[in-house]
Structure 1
Amino acid sequence: MKTVGSLLNLEVHKLKSNAFKGGEWKPNEREFQQLKFLLIKRNNLKHWRANNIHFPRLQWLVLKKCKCLEEISSGFGEIPTFQLIELHKCGDSVVTSAQKIEEEQVNFGNDAFQVHIHGKYGDF
């Protein structure tokens, strides 16, 4: 991840099918500084230790079938460019954390921010 995260012009990053080794990801500061779109799909990621410092320009986050993930860090609610969280078959705690981030964004005046939920893990 350090190599990919240090790419200066990286705006789109897609992590699919067990892209992580282990259940935790904590990006380093100064990585992913230009990232606008992040997809995480079918991973065993349980703890994601990231916030607005790690993804300062993120606009769109998509999580698909992240059944182990416990939450999205509340620090994402402080990203001024954030526009959308899209969840596909994620657990209740991830949905709850996304809804809290939506509240934070609205409180910061970002009325256009949206959370789209497409089923929850266990519903299918």
Structure 2
Amino acid sequence: MIIGTTKELKNHEYRVGLIPDNVSAFVAKGHKVLVETQAGLGAGFLDQDYIDAGAEIVATPAEVFAQCDMVVKVKEPEECEYKYLRKNQILFTYLHLAPNPKLAKALLDSGCKAVA
């Protein structure tokens, strides 16, 4: 499986979906891991930390979503990310859909498997 994480887009959100220890664990089990450049910077992790753990650094969130079977985030996708969601892709993130029907519709329309 190809697993990835992107830089969080919400204001004042500094956490990251995967830390280097997570990457090491996934890689040890035979998975490939992609990390958007600077995704971990706000949490104190450099791209080199992810590379040392076995991840491949990619330039854009589009690359992560296009190549990954599962995308791990902290917060729900922002509207500009809806277009990246695709059928049968696993999205593992925090989801609070009640106040955001547009997100709920985007998830349903994409056919992704959203796990909160």
TM bucket, shorter chain: 0.3 to 0.5
Name the structure where strand makes up a greater proportion of residues: 1
* TM-score normalised according to structure 2 size: 0.36
* TM-score normalised according to structure 1 size: 0.34
Name the structure where helix makes up a greater proportion of residues: 2
Greater relative CO, 1 or 2 (CA 8 Å, sep 6+): 2
